[in-house]
């Protein structure tokens, strides 16, 4: 089991906190809810479980949030109002900038991977083909010159 796996195993309470944080990072726009309200906390946890850098960052940010004095005094991050939540995140950003930056990247990755976001911003989801660039039909004539060459390798 990779070392970072335990850092990406979140409790239900952790997922609620993660969702609240994700909503602060990517808030609602028009009819599209914020990243956390869209239910992307599990997608973030899953992605973080596959990518060490994001798994470590998610673990460090969640741990730091649980230790944040203002959150502990008020009954946890979920009990804070929006202004207090933003202040708590600013403390993390100042004190663990590398982990925090990777965490924000994780939120953006899962957010911009969601088809609802693609629809909202006008991206076409799915594979590039067949609606992407057209590829010409295979022309076996491209191999004619090569097939006329004598072998230049040694037989083993």
SS3 114: coil
Which pLDDT value is given to residue 136?
72
> Would 140 be classed as within a structural domain?
no
In this structure, how many other beta carbons lie within 10 angstroms of the beta carbon of residue 110?
24
Question: What are the tokens at 67?
Answer: 């230790």
pLDDT number for residue 156: 75
pLDDT at 118: 92
Assigned domain for 57 exists = yes
User: What does the pLDDT look like over 45-69, one tens digit per residue?
Assistant: 999 999 999 999 999 999 999 887 7
Domain housing 94: 3-127
Cα 10 to Cα 19, 55, 81, 142, distances in angstroms: 12, 11, 23, 55
- Residue 132 included in any domain: no
How many domains are there within the chain? 1
Q: Which two tokens stand for residue 119?
A: 């629809």
Whether residue 150 is contained in a domain is answered as no
Answer yes or no: is 151 within a domain.
no
Quote the pLDDT of residue 130.
Answer: 63
Separation between Cα atoms, residue 55 and residue 48, nearest integer Å: 4
Q: What is the pLDDT of residue 126?
A: 67
In a domain, 78, yes or no: yes
Flag whether 149 is in a domain: no
Q: Is residue 9 part of a domain?
A: yes
Could you tell me which residues are beta bridge partners of residue 29? Answer: 32
pLDDT < 70 positions in the chain: 1-8, 70-74, 126-135
């Amino acid at each position: 089991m990779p070392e970072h796996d335990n850092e990406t195993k979140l409790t239900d309470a952790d997922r609620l906190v993660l969702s609240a944080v994700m909503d602060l990072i990517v808030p609602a726009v028009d009819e599209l809810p914020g990243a956390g309200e869209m239910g992307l906390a599990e997608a973030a946890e899953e992605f973080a479980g596959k990518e060490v850098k994001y798994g470590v960052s998610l673990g460090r940010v969640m741990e730091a949030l649980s230790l944040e004095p203002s959150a502990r005094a008020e009954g946890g991050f979920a009990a804070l109002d929006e202004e207090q939540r933003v202040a708590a995140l600013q403390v993390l950003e100042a004190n663990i900038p590398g982990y925090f930056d990777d965490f924000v990247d994780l939120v953006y990755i899962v957010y911009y991977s969601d088809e609802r976001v693609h629809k909202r911003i006008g991206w076409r989801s799915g594979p590039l083909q067949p609606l992407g660039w057209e590829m010409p039909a295979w022309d076996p004539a491209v191999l004619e010159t090569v097939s006329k060459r004598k072998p230049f390798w040694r037989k083993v």
